[in-house]
Amino acid sequence: MKNIKEFIKVKGITKYFGGSDKPTLEDINLTINEGEFIAILGPSGSGKSTLLRTITGLVESDYGEVVFDGKKVTGVNPYASIVFQTFALYPWLTVRENVELGLKAKGFPKDYTRRKAEELIRLIGLDGFEEAYPKELSGGMRQRVGFARALAVEPKLLCLDEPFSALDFLTAENLRTELVDLWQEKRMPIKSIIMITHGIEEAVLMADKIVMLSRNPAHIIAEIKIDLPHPRNRKSPEFEKIVDNVYKLLIKGKTENNEEKKLNKSVSSNKENGEKPIQIPNAHVGVMSGLLELIDDNGGKMDIYQLGGDLMMEIDDLLPNIEGISMLNFAEVKEGDIFITELGKEFVELDKDESKELFKKQLKDISTFRLIMNVLNNKRNHTMKEEFFKELFKQHFSYNEIEGMMDIIIDWGRYAELFTYDHDSEELYIPSF
């Protein structure tokens, strides 16, 4: 039996940002063994990158600790390298000079630095481009330079923060395949890889184990071992089954067990206890309407994995819209399938004006919109600055959440003609007729 050696131990990591009383990461516990390729998966804003930076020592946790190769991480880990989604190359340096940066910083001799850089440039398939500048390279070639630079210092841990997301599909697919080949053939002197991704198929295609995070705050909701041999076939029943199971787990954590949804129901049934706004997902009316029509046209039920594939939408884009139609009670999710409700079917079949009225009626059942309408109705001129609501929401949500959420609130409210918005004065108001 193969001897398994523990490499990284994450113990009770909790991290707060910006004075918020709600942590971004809460009590994260994770073990990564030597020789493992780990993918960390979760919705946008779930703290994936924060967790990665905590493991590498770039971010200091408020509670808990990270043990790396037997030693507690107390600062930036010199044995870890990160490849980011942006290429982060110095435009005034050549390919070779960009790759040499880390080696020079560590004080290696000039001859060794040059030889090592050229060796890595050949390894990642850029020989012949040593003296080219980043502006002369395609996106895929620039990201290869990023990989070579990260590998130059011979890290024990290679961290990938969505390194393929800025690339076109074919370039990304080629780089994924080449990276896995290098890892499988042990041509890179690293002990483990951690990859942050929002792509479920990407995680199943590359990793040995998927670690799934929830959001607000981040918890580990599942660890999924992937025992498929490489190279992996996306079309195989085994591959599709794992992807489908990951979808089900992620969807379950986001909809069926959504604490915000429960909170909304509780304040709806007991208004006298005071309103607490809930987070509005990044869902657009047009996309939600299209999803409902598609589900209705398919007998009122669709597999979410199939739905994402048909629409060519990544889970980060699909999930908020599923959350939106669920929040409006137009759809419900069970075991990885999405069903249109009677109310959703009515919304699809009504004419434009009647569907807007139904949308407005559903908005009034959401505590966030009730709060906004209470403010507007109690103002003599029925007008209030957008900034007022942003300040009001600060006690419930982070700054980044509020910025995106206000755009969606305005989008939904204007569509339903619940209120309107003046871009010049940045005010929400109820028009007088």
The yes-or-no verdict on residue 5 having pLDDT over 90 is: no
The pLDDT of 65-79, averaged and rounded, is 91
Q: What is the mean pLDDT of residues 104-116?
A: 82
Asked if residue 267 belongs to a domain, the reply is no
354-399: pLDDT as tens digits: 999 999 999 999 999 999 999 999 999 999 999 999 988 887 887 7
* Shared-domain flag, residues 218 and 314: no
Quote the pLDDT of residue 316. 76
Share the mean pLDDT of the chain: 85
Q: Is 278 domain-assigned?
A: no
Host H or E run for residue 15: strand 6-15
Same domain, 80 and 222: yes
219 and 142 share one domain: yes
Note whether 236 and 301 are same-domain residues: no
- pLDDT over threshold 70, residue 245: yes
pLDDT at position 343, please? 95
| pTM over cut 0.85 | no
Residues 157, 230 within the same domain: yes
Long-range contacts of 360-366 (CB under 8 A, 24+ apart): 360/416, 360/417, 360/418, 362/328, 362/329, 362/330, 363/328, 363/412, 363/413, 363/416, 363/418, 364/418, 365/268, 365/329, 366/264, 366/278, 366/280, 366/327, 366/328
> Does a structural domain hold residue 182?
yes
Residue 10 belongs to some domain of the structure: yes
CATH number for 67? 3.40.50.300
Identify whether residues 201 and 333 lie together within a single domain.
Answer: no
Helix residue ranges per DSSP H, 106-161: 110-123, 139-152
User: What pLDDT, on a 0 to 100 scale, did the predictor assign at position 269?
Assistant: 37
Would residue 262 count as lying in a domain? no
Give the total number of structural domains in the chain.
2
Residues 56, 118: one domain?
yes
Query: For residue 99, is it within any domain?
Result: yes
pLDDT tens-digit map of 265-296: 433 333 344 568 888 999 999 999 999 999 99
Residue 412's closest CA among 375, 354, 369, 352?
Answer: 369
In the block, residue with structure tokens 């080449």: 178
- Write down the pLDDT at residue 296: 93
Better pLDDT: 104 or 156: 156
Question: Quick one: 246 and 385 in the same domain?
Answer: no
Where in the sequence is the domain holding 379, given as residue range(s)?
285-429
Query: What is the model's pLDDT at position 19?
Result: 67
20 versus 346: the higher-pLDDT residue is 346
Identify which has the larger pLDDT, 346 or 143: 346
Q: Are residues 76 and 175 in the same domain?
A: yes
Q: Give pLDDT tens digits for 402-412.
A: 888 999 999 99
**74-87 residue pLDDT tens:** 988 989 988 887 76
Q: Is 14 helix (H, G, I), strand (E, B) or coil?
A: strand
How far is Cα 25 from Cα 250, in angstroms, rounded to an integer? 17
- Flag whether 377 is in a domain: yes
